[in-house]
Amino acid sequence: MGEFDNKEREEVFSKKVRAGKRTYFFDVKATRSGDYYLTLTESKKRLEDGVFVKHKIFLYKEDFEKFAEGLNETVDYIKSHQEVVEKRYEYSENHEGAGTRVQNDDFSF
């Protein structure tokens, strides 16, 4: 195994989304053979010790359509059964978001 195998894959593209107390990272990376895949990371700072806790999902291109269908169906279900107030957050030092309502989010890939 080469040295590259022990390292995190290089990011091809990255999008950071701050949403209140959480930050989401959408990172496109490449396999050794050059195929792209997506990592979704949620990062949240624990109040008790200030440590950032991260949760990561790897999503491969052959699963994009099924994942998008499942996500869209689930979001549509929630929106049709409960009022959802969608906000755009602005980052502040005290981690409180000042938001405005956002409509027509597009979760398609």
Q: Which domain covers residue 67, as residue numbers? A: 11-81
Question: Looking at the 3D structure of the chain, how many domains does it have?
Answer: 1
pTM for the full predicted model: 0.66
Determine, yes or no, domain membership for 65.
yes
Q: What residue ranges of the chain have pLDDT lower than 70?
A: 1-8, 88-109
How far apart are alpha carbons 16 and 27 in whole angstroms?
Answer: 9
| CATH code of residue 58 | 3.10.450.700
User: Is 31 part of any domain?
Assistant: yes
> What is the pLDDT, as a whole number, of residue 10?
77
In a domain, 67, yes or no: yes
- The answer to whether position 33 is within a domain reads yes
Vertex 47, ends 42 and 53: CA angle to 5°? 30
pLDDT of residue 48: 92
Whether residue 95 lies inside any domain: the answer is no
**pLDDT tens sequence across 20-49:** 889 999 999 999 899 999 999 999 999 899
